[in-house]
Amino acid sequence: MQIQNNISLKPFNTFGIDANAKHYVSVSNLVNLKNILTAPDYPNKLILGGGSNMLLTKDFDGLVIHINFKGIKIISENEDTVIVQANAGENWHEFVLWCIKNDFGGIENLSLIPGNVGTAPIQNIGAYGIELKDVFESCQAIELTTKTIKSFSKTDCKFGYRNSIFKQEAKGKFIITSVRFKLSKKQHNLSVNYGAITSQLEVMKVSKPTIQDISKAVISIRESKLPNPKEIGNSGSFFKNPVIPKAHFNTLLENFKDIPNYPVTEHEVKVPAGWLIEKAGFKGKSFGSYGVHKNQALVLVNYGNAKGEDILNLSKLIQKTVLRIFGISIEAEVNIL
């Protein structure tokens, strides 16, 4: 384990922002992590996973701890289900592919989401009708003050839409070291009703889909909409989809008859932020080195050498414009650092 100084974080964040870390260390096991946490020299720490949900707006004047613990193992199984544990530094999509190869079902709809396994519980990653909470069994995390390992059950995690205890009262207090999943071994409960999955399966000429077919369909839909961070820097959806009171939604309907919506409760409606941003005129707009993606208005992009601050300012302009036109505050999903 070697601490490096003045390291560019550009290769470590999918937005491709060139911010520097004063100190950087890649940690591949728990013993090393505990050692680094007890060293008194680095009071200011930033935990880094796959760097796919962060916008770096300045240099980091402290120690970046890059979580790179690897390992996947089966904890227990019966005829129908299996409990699998993956260490925090495993790449999420590779873990999904490992599960599919072993015919373990439940996370195939979450194919191709970037980032690490250890970060997945933080915002309860979700896509195509499934959220992490649907397959989550528990996670283990080291508490920064006591350096002890604590286990969090599904109830402890208080999962919500793009939300968990790790974004609320436990924020910045724990490093997740491993996650356990409860997956199906047979009679997989397939989720095909969201978005374009069914039509994509038809294109693929699949009438009785397997978990592998669903994964392939999701990958293909995602590739058609979302920019590949290896080609264009981005962090996925920059904002969360807002939930608004039904009364507010009904007044908007008077002027915007085509506003898409998903009921949340009897009194609340979720509205796609991508639609609001597109209607506000930002879709596909370029401001030189940065802009709004042409196929998905919820994704802000770095065409090469943008500064994090430029993208942050664009996000504020979008928030202000959406608020002025629709009276809706849209909240960043990306972690702004």
**Site residues (vs ligand EPU, CB under 6 A):** 127-128, 195, 225, 236-237, 240-241, 260, 272, 274-275, 278, 283, 296-298, 333
Rounded to the nearest whole angstrom, what is the least distance from the CB of residue 40 to ligand EPU in the complex? 37
> In this structure, are residues 61 and 22 in contact, taking their beta carbons and an 8 Å threshold?
yes
Between CA 164 and CA 336 the distance in angstroms is: 17
55 binds ligand FAD (CB under 6 A): no
> Alpha-carbon distance 120 to 91, whole Å?
10
The residue from 7, 9, 55, 122 that contacts ligand FAD (CB under 6 A) is: 122
Of 44-52, 71-79, 245-253, 282-290, the window that binds ligand FAD (rule: CB under 6 A) is: 44-52
Among 53, 74, 180, residue whose Cα is nearest residue 116 = 53
Which listed residue (52, 162, 180, 215) is catalytic? Answer: 162
- Residue 274 contact, options ligand FAD, ligand EPU, none, Cβ 5-8 Å cut-off depending on partner type: ligand EPU
Terminal-to-terminal C-alpha distance of the chain: 25
Our answer to whether residue 90 is catalytic in this structure is: no
Residues near ligand FAD (CB under 6 A), total: 32
Residue 283 interacting entry, from ligand FAD, ligand EPU, none, C-beta within 5 to 8 Å by type: ligand EPU
Q: Any long-range contacts for 228-232 (C-beta under 8 Å, 24+ apart)? A: 229/14, 229/15, 229/16, 229/52, 229/114, 232/293, 232/301, 232/302, 232/303
Nearer to ligand EPU, 143 or 278 (CB): 278
Asked if residues 9 and 51 have their Cβ atoms less than 8 Å apart, the reply is yes
Residue (193 or 207) nearer to ligand EPU, CB: 193
Does 52 participate in binding ligand FAD (rule CB under 6 A)? yes
Find out whether 118 and 217 touch, Cβ atoms under 8 Å.
no
Among 17, 33, 37, 50, binds ligand FAD (CB under 6 A): 50
Binding of ligand FAD by 51 (CB under 6 A): yes
Which tokens go with 124?
A: 């309860």
Q: Do 197 and 128 meet the contact criterion of CB atoms below 8 Å apart?
A: yes
Query: Which DSSP category does 252 fall into?
Result: H
**Segment interacting with ligand FAD (CB under 6 A) among 29-37, 125-133, 144-152, 204-212:** 125-133
SS3 251: helix
* 162 counts as catalytic: yes
Contacts of 133 (CB under 8 A, 6+ apart): 124, 154, 157, 159
8 is catalytic: no
Q: Considering beta carbons, is residue 53 or 138 the nearer one to ligand FAD?
A: 53
Q: For the CB of residue 24, give the shortest distance to ligand EPU in the complex, in Å.
A: 25
Catalytic residue among 52, 138, 237, 315: 237
Q: How far is the C-alpha of 268 from the C-alpha of 43, rounded, in Å?
A: 43
- 182: nearest Cα among 118, 123, 139, 126: 139
CB 105 within 8 A of CB 211: yes
Which of these ranges, 228-236, 254-262, 266-274, 275-283, lies near ligand FAD under the rule CB under 6 A?
Answer: 228-236
Q: Is 296 in the site for ligand FAD (CB under 6 A)?
A: no
Q: How far is the CB of 161 from ligand FAD (least distance, A)?
A: 10
Catalytic residues: 162, 237, 333
**Residues forming the site for ligand FAD (CB under 6 A):** 14, 46-54, 67, 88, 113-116, 118-120, 122-123, 125-127, 175-176, 226, 229, 234-236, 335
